[in-house]
């Protein structure tokens, strides 16, 4: 292992993938331990497997409890995708109220937010976004990802292209709407334009984060 990393000093992201039963989680934990405890690096071992077992390996219940420390430089995370999705919903509600000056989300919009969270690919999307967030922050020397079994892993990697296309469509629609509303906004002042610009900026920030992570994966 030492020779492997010495030959690849630029390598910062290690992904263990494949079918179930190969020992991906064990290898992920062992690699993170070796890099952190033996080599003095700051490492994050992150499980993307819905049936994560890092809690068993490290003998502590860490599921959905955020990043946990297991000694100098060794950090471990098991994401709770359901919790992440619930946080998305609250963030969307907050932004809608903030952007449009609402005290309460209209019922039909709230129903849409709830139904969108039930989409089949939402768990993969939430996990993918969590991985992208971690890399974008750049807080660790190494990132060791324990991927789910092959089928789930393929769907997760494909999220890079699905989300990319989705953001393109949303951005295009927002820019088109802004163009048609421009004359009205000028008459009403700059507040609405600022709101629209803020939404486009959020989309651009998400796009840049996902593009960065897609390049890492592919």
Q: Where are the domains of the chain?
A: 2-217
Domain 2-217 CATH class label: alpha beta
Instruction: Output the pLDDT for position 3.
Output: 83
Instruction: Output the pLDDT for position 126.
Output: 78
At 135, give phi and psi (nearest 5°).
Answer: -70, -40
Instruction: Output the pLDDT for position 50.
Output: 66
Contact 130, 29 (CB under 8 A): no
- Bridge pairing between strands 13-18 and 43-47: unpaired
CA distance 26 to 29: 5
pLDDT in tens, the chain (218 residues): 778 887 888 889 998 887 777 888 999 999 999 999 999 999 999 987 767 689 999 999 999 899 999 999 999 999 888 888 888 888 888 877 877 778 888 888 888 878 877 766 677 777 778 888 888 889 999 999 988 775 454 555 566 666 666 667 767 766 676 676 666 666 666 555 555 566 667 767 777 776 776 676 66
Instruction: Output the pLDDT for position 57.
Output: 94
């Amino acid at each position: 292992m030492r020779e492997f990393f010495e030959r690849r000093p630029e390598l910062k992201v290690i992904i263990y993938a494949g079918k179930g039963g190969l020992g991906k989680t064990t290898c992920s934990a062992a690699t993170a331990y070796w890099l952190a405890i033996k080599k003095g690096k700051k490492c994050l071992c992150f499980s993307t497997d819905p049936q994560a077992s890092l809690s068993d390996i490290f003998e502590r219940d860490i599921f959905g409890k955020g990043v946990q420390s297991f000694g100098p430089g060794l950090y471990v995370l098991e994401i709770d995708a359901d919790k992440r999705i619930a946080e998305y919903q609250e963030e969307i509600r907050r932004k809608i109220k903030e952007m449009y000056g609402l005290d309460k989300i209209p019922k039909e919009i709230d129903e849409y937010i709830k139904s969108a969270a039930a989409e089949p690919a939402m768990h993969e999307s939430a996990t993918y976004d969590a991985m992208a967030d971690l890399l974008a922050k750049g807080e660790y020397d190494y990132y060791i990802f324990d991927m789910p079994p092959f089928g789930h892993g393929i769907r997760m990697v494909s999220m890079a292209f699905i989300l990319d296309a989705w953001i393109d469509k949303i951005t295009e629609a927002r820019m088109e709407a802004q163009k048609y509303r421009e004359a009205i906004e000028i008459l009403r002042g700059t507040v609405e334009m600022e709101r629209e610009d803020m939404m486009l900026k959020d989309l651009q920030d998400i796009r840049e984060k996902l593009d960065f992570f897609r390049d890492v994966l592919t």
